[in-house]
Amino acid sequence: MRYCNLKDPTFRYKKMSLNQQNSSASGQSQPKYNRIVVKAGTTLLTGGTDRLDLEMMASLVGQVARLQFQGRQMMIVSSGAVAAGRKVLEDTKQIRDVPVRQILAAVGQGKLLQAYDQLFDWHGIPVAQALLTRRDLSDRHGYLNIRNTLLGLLAAGVIPIINENDVVAVDELSGGEVFGDNDTLSAMVANIVDADLLVMLGEVEGLYTRDPHLDPDAKLIPKVERLNDEVGAMGGPSWSDMGRGGMATKLEAVKRATASGVDTVIAGGRTSNAIVRLADGESLGTQFPAATTRLESRKRWMLSHMDESDTIVIDQGAVRALVSHNRSLLPPGVVETLGEFRRGDIVSIVGPDRGQIACGITNYDSDEIDRIRQMQSTEINDTLGHHYGDEVVHRDNMVILS
């Protein structure tokens, strides 16, 4: 195991004063990427051993902290829980059945978060844990809750540490629908939060023409404009003692992320300052440009899942707030609802003339909206007996169509 001295200044990115930040920002152009998801694989975080490599984690955390202090919004999708648990319960090292992996994950998840918490605390940055399964993301209420929570954490300056919930994801662990060493999970998270960039870090520097472990003549491919069968054939499934992913799962994740408007990079996590350099647009590893814009991708997704009979009618003041000022839809601007819909459904939002203004994910059922329409947001809890937010439709969950 590699150890690091957390009081060593080389592992700490000291926060600049507000004046320094403003001075720095005034002399620089707008960063290319502002909302970034970083995925760190098991082999990278453990150095190929059966325990966490704290020196490597400190390096990654330092880079993320630096970007956070620049005003970027950062998220980490982290593997390593099972490996961390295996170090604690060494007598289970050779066992591979599902219950043992769940036990290892349950023990190791706390160790993993404790490491991140301690490392980020040295930079003065709070972290939060989010354990997800594919089932969570497929449920409309789960999707809405996860999106709202993650965006809320980012707005509060908290860095989410996200991992697959191996403790309860029995289907995934037994070979069903796996995220794939968090590769697919990272792409889904990047889509959920409308990330600008997904950085997938591992021991391999990127996509090669052949397996670099087997062929010394393999060449790194610096950029892939479009994923096709020829590119897909360059990746191959793998199974290591530490992780569950391989280049094939990474390419599937890339396909998902780029299709939703997220630039994606597969790069080596041991490359000096890789995250910072990639966030500033430097060419490292293998670059996969987004296949469409995030807005267009989100617009298509919402329109394809929207039932036109589910509609919220708003007044002219609310139309101006949404279209001209990029505001959320609040109860006072709602005139009526048409159709019956549930919280988490995608609804059409129309003006007084019934012309479509927007579509979005509703925070409340149609009957609940009818009860709180024309009211102030402060009256929601007293009227309904619960509170899912001040907004009927939050601006982060809405696309303007007019």
**Domain contains 233:** yes
Same domain, 272 and 314: no
What's the CATH number where 345 sits?
A: 2.30.130.10
Of 272, 292, 312, which residue constitutes the final position of a domain? 292
The pLDDT assigned to 173 comes to 44
Quote the radius of gyration of the chain (alpha carbons, Å).
Answer: 23
Same domain, 308 and 234: no
Same domain, 123 and 168: yes
Tokens of 192: 């959920």
Same domain, 265 and 333: no
Q: How many CB atoms lie within 10 A of CB 48?
A: 14
The pLDDT assigned to 29 comes to 58
- Domain hosting residue 318, numbered range: 298-400
Q: Sign of the CA dihedral 155, 156, 161, 163? A: negative
Of 292, 318, 337, which residue constitutes the final position of a domain? 292
- For the chain, list residues with pLDDT below 50: 1-11, 14-27, 172-178, 237-243
The pLDDT assigned to 4 comes to 47
Same domain, 188 and 54: yes
Q: What is the DSSP string of 197-239?
A: EEEEEESS-S-BSS-TTT-TT--B--B-SS--HHHHTT-----
The pLDDT assigned to 129 comes to 95
Tokens of 352: 């007084």
**Domain contains 7:** no
Of 230, 260, 292, which residue constitutes the final position of a domain? 292
**Domain contains 311:** yes
Same domain, 175 and 211: yes
The pLDDT assigned to 233 comes to 65
Same domain, 193 and 311: no
The pLDDT assigned to 194 comes to 92
Q: How far is residue 75's CA from residue 265's CA, in Å, rounded to a whole number? A: 15
Task: Domain count for the chain, please give it.
Answer: 2
Same domain, 309 and 244: no
Same domain, 283 and 191: yes
The pLDDT assigned to 21 comes to 42
Same domain, 86 and 58: yes
The pLDDT assigned to 212 comes to 79
231 neighbors 295 (Cβ within 8 angstroms):
no
Same domain, 333 and 354: yes
Same domain, 132 and 266: yes
What's the CATH number where 252 sits?
A: 3.40.1160.10
186 neighbors 198 (Cβ within 8 angstroms):
yes
Three-point CA angle 352, 357, 363, nearest 5°: 95
The pLDDT assigned to 82 comes to 82
